[in-house]
């Protein structure tokens, strides 16, 4: 009995090139909160799409290389680390848990995310956090154009620079940028950084595994001017 428990709690190594994506995701989907199989290592990902998508269990998954589309999409509860870069839509529509990308992320990272934490240790491409609905995203590097487009709630932290049209048509998400912003989108404005924002940002920087020398006071906050919530003929040119 003892040896069986030890075997179950050991890291599960899954060779994706030998066993295939369907078997991997089926195995992960079969997990429940009572599982002892809490540590997984996926080897030979070779840019495959939808790796560890739809996981709903408190497990730790390490993907040993770069991934394709929609890695860790719809994540709930799991901690998923990509030891490489991620293709479009990483952590798309995630609900909870943590997704960490050690490299860069392609476009629309964290799109429509409703909860949890997404950390990108490199740069993120265009439309990072598009239509985010509660997810918290921390990017160590730069982000591309149209990031946080129609973002509704949650936070986007950028330790580098932001591209064109940041926060276009923004609702109530909070955007924090340490570097320069090429341009702000419609209805996005710079806002006062109050003590509660500094406290919240400090927590995100810590949880996002950022360089401890980076301080919240070095960031600027952006948010919605709240002029596009309802149609107003005086603002027609901004729609």
Q: Look at residue 2 in the predicted model and tell me its pLDDT.
A: 39
CATH number for region 47-230: 2.160.20.60
Tell me which residue of 85, 116, 114 sits closest to 204, measured CA to CA.
116
For the chain, the average pLDDT equals 93
Question: What kind and span of H or E run contains 184?
Answer: none
Tell me which residue of 131, 70, 137 sits closest to 98, measured CA to CA.
137
* CA angle in degrees (0–180, nearest 5) for 43-8-85: 25
Q: How far is 113 from 154, CA to CA, in rounded Å?
A: 9
Q: Look at residue 145 in the predicted model and tell me its pLDDT.
A: 98
User: 29, 52 in Cβ contact below 8 A?
Assistant: no
39 bridge partner residues: 60
Tell me which residue of 171, 105, 101 sits closest to 143, measured CA to CA.
105
Q: Look at residue 6 in the predicted model and tell me its pLDDT.
A: 36
Q: Look at residue 191 in the predicted model and tell me its pLDDT.
A: 97
Q: Look at residue 84 in the predicted model and tell me its pLDDT.
A: 98
Tell me which residue of 171, 166, 94, 160 sits closest to 128, measured CA to CA.
166
Residues of the chain whose pLDDT is less than 50? 1-8
Q: How far is 59 from 109, CA to CA, in rounded Å?
A: 22
Q: Look at residue 4 in the predicted model and tell me its pLDDT.
A: 39
Q: Look at residue 3 in the predicted model and tell me its pLDDT.
A: 39
Q: How far is 73 from 56, CA to CA, in rounded Å?
A: 11
Tell me which residue of 137, 174, 147, 178 sits closest to 160, measured CA to CA.
178
Can you read off the two tokens belonging to residue 185? 């989108």
Q: How far is 49 from 72, CA to CA, in rounded Å?
A: 10
105 bridge partner residues: 86, 124
Pairing type for strands 220-224 and 117-120 reads unpaired
User: 193, 222 in Cβ contact below 8 A?
Assistant: no
Q: Look at residue 230 in the predicted model and tell me its pLDDT.
A: 67
* pTM: predicted TM-score of the whole model, two decimal places: 0.92
**In the chain, where are the structural domains located?**
47-230
Q: Look at residue 237 in the predicted model and tell me its pLDDT.
A: 65
Pairing type for strands 220-224 and 174-177 reads antiparallel
């Amino acid at each position: 009995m003892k040896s069986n428990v030890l075997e179950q709690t050991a890291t599960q190594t899954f060779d994706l090139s030998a066993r295939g994506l369907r078997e991997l995701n089926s195995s992960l989907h079969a997990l429940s909160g009572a599982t002892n199989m809490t540590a997984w290592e996926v080897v030979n990902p070779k840019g495959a799409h939808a790796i560890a998508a739809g996981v709903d269990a408190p497990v730790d998954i390490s993907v040993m290389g770069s991934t394709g589309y929609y890695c860790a999409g719809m994540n709930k509860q799991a901690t998923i680390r990509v030891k490489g870069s991620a293709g479009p839509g990483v952590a798309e529509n995630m609900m909870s848990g943590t997704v960490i990308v050690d490299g860069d992320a392609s476009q629309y990272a964290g799109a429509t995310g409703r909860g949890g934490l997404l950390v990108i240790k490199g740069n993120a491409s265009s439309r990072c956090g598009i239509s985010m609905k509660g997810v918290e995203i921390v990017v160590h590097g730069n982000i591309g154009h149209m990031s946080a487009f129609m973002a509704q709630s949650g936070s986007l932290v950028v330790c580098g620079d932001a591209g064109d049209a940041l926060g276009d048509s923004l609702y109530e998400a909070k955007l924090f940028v340490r570097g320069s912003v090429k341009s702000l989108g419609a209805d996005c404005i710079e806002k006062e950084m109050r003590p509660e924002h500094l406290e919240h940002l400090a927590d995100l920087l810590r949880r996002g595994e950022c360089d401890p020398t980076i301080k919240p006071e070095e960031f600027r906050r952006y948010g919605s001017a709240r002029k596009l919530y309802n149609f107003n003929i005086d603002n027609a040119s901004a729609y």
